[in-house]
Chain A
Amino acid sequence: MSLLEVVDLNVWFDLPGSGRLHAVQGVDLAVERGERLGLVGESGCGKTTVMMALMGLLPSSATVSGEIRLEGEDILAGGEDTIRPHRWVDMAMVFQGAMNAFNPVQTIGRQIVEPMELHGVASGQAARRRTSELLEMVGIPASAAKRYPHEFSGGMRQRAALAMALACDPKVLFADEPTTALDVMVQAQILMRLVELADELDLALVLVTHDLPVVAQACDRAMVMYAGRVAEQADMDVLFHDPRHPYTELLFAATPDLYGEDHVVSIPGNPPRLDQKLVGCPFAPRCPKAMDVCRREEPLPLAIGTGHVAACHLNSPAREATA
């Protein structure tokens, strides 16, 4: 049984006025204990929404359907009531721009202790001790606990947010663009620490990012999303060496290689609007390998190898038969 299993996740957002936006469509994914999964895609592809849906943090304008199984239990079924007990103790998060994750009028220490006391993990002196340990684990002096968030740099606040996320010893850690807003040196350090901690604590990591090198470095598996759907899902090296979706190919090609002489390929065009019904494959307008069938029929995710899934007509058996 997987630690976290998501079946047919769909998310709609109400638009002001009228209409709905289908932000996430039919997403399946699974995360095993200690595994590191990357969620990759352009901004607006739905990856953050997926993460929010899993933690049950969507706003009131959202509608969700599907199954979210945490250690076998469907936590989505009962809504807020079934999800909330699992927050922080089983699933924790480090937000994008975690600089602002802290309440400005409370000390860092107070905010790290808060979930510990809430979930009965520790309280009082024990909680404070644990806070010091956590802070040192992420590379911040323990004295930081007495200070206010604004007294720290962005990078340190990011680390503190990480410490806070680990406060209740969760099983899954979601990290949304954990390094984007920081400078490159700090980025590398934090990423490395994140991976080390995941190893040490046997933590499952779900890394949401648009930054391919980050995923390549830190993750075992990755899921590429496009227009709210899963384009491709596979182990990292399979994705790199045997991509089965043109979007994945282009994504890897679009990343400039410092040492190579490859031309930088950019992907022309824009992702499709999600408030209107789409006919065919959402990537067809921008796809260099688009065929007639791509514009007519939407490709469903197909299993290609073990743990390798891609939603592209190029992989369909009928196609292969005629190739």
Chain B
Amino acid sequence: MRGSVYFAKRVTLAAGTVFVAITLNFILFRAAPGDAVSNLSRVPHASPALKEALRHEFGLDQSKWQQYWLYLDQLFHGNLGISFADQQPVSHDLTVALGNTVPMVLLGTVIAIGLGVVTGTVAAWRRGGITDQVNTNVAIAFYSFPTQWLGLMLLILFAGVLPTSGMSDEFLIDPTWWEHTVDVLKHMILPSATLALTLYGEYTLIARSSMLETLSEDYVLTARAKGLPNSTVVRRHAFRNALLPTTTLVALSLGYVVGGAILIETVFSWPGIGRAVYQAVLQRDYPMLQGAFLVLTLSVVVFNLIADLLYFRLDPRVTE
């Protein structure tokens, strides 16, 4: 299979990065001065029993190196510690939070990508004209709006019409699966829309510049010289090639989206991983913070890997 060597190499590199991220995580939270875990007096509401349990769990009576090994071992078994706030395993809380974030972010990014690629391509095709200028400037505008402010604007505009807080209606008694899904979807509209609007501008600009670059390539001229109608040239030759850098750049940006959704989740009180990070900061819930941060870093590494592999798959020029 073409690329098995490349695939293996990239995965290994990614694994290496993950390992460094894990270690950095440890350093940031445990070894750096002012870290709260070792300074148990900073843990809110810590009863003596809890302190003792924590001390044992984190091996705080041992050296830093031993703590590190303990940390790696726990990580390997999926143990991310216990949240200070709700005494639940961090891995459990994170899974729930992530499960809430992913659909919302997925909806928003899919719309953003679709909208961005379409407007960007059209703008490039009609370069210099009104369509191009309007599309490009509107994209720049949305790209410039602070995410939280955009969310607030939507909130103000749609306050009476769409739900603006939380993921579901607490007053819905015993909903059926269908009712529950619709309810969640209704709550998802505003946060996803905010994400879509805040992201699409960048994608428009990427798609446009990529398409313009492609349209000035010699093979486009050749295709035209062969007598192909314009629409075929664009579809078969230009677009396919323009998609290449667009795809990689979009994939790369996706890694950061999950972290960036923090602002949106705060505005709309969406119980996702972003909001979890924020609340963990407020509550000084360090295990939670550490776990969430690790997950977010991992998502960047994973998407970088995906971008790499996608590019390899799509461009025959890339060799192993």
Contacts and interface: CB of A to CB of B under 8 A. Distances in A.
Contact between A and B in the complex (any CB pair below 8 Å): yes
Given A87-B226, A105-B240, A150 B316 contact: yes
Interface stretch (A112-120, A122-130, A282-290): A112-120
Nearest to B226: A115
B127 to A, nearest CB: 9
Most chain A beta-carbon neighbours within 10 Å: one of B237, B244, B314: B237
Interface stretch (B130-138, B181-189, B213-221, B302-310): B213-221
A44 interface: no
B241 interface: yes
A101 interface: yes
A85 interface: yes
B225 interface: yes
Contacts of B241: 103-105
Contacts of A150: 316-317
A55 B228 contact: no
Interface string A114-157: 11001100000000000000000000000000001010000000
Interface residues of B, number: 20
B317 A148 contact: yes
A66 interface: no
B217 A57 contact: no
Interface string A74-101: 0000000000111111001101011011
Q: Is the interface of B mostly helix, strand, loop or mixed?
A: helix
A80 B115 CA distance: 31
B218 A93 contact: no
A102 interface: yes
Contacts of B227: 84-89, 115, 118-119
A161 B218 CA distance: 12
B224 to A, nearest CB: 6
Given A115-B228, A148-B317, 13 more contacts: A87-B225, A88-B227, A92-B225, A100-B219, A103-B237, A105-B241, A105-B314, A105-B315, A105-B316, A114-B228, A118-B227, A148-B316, A161-B222
Interface of B: 217-219, 221-229, 237, 240-241, 244, 314-317
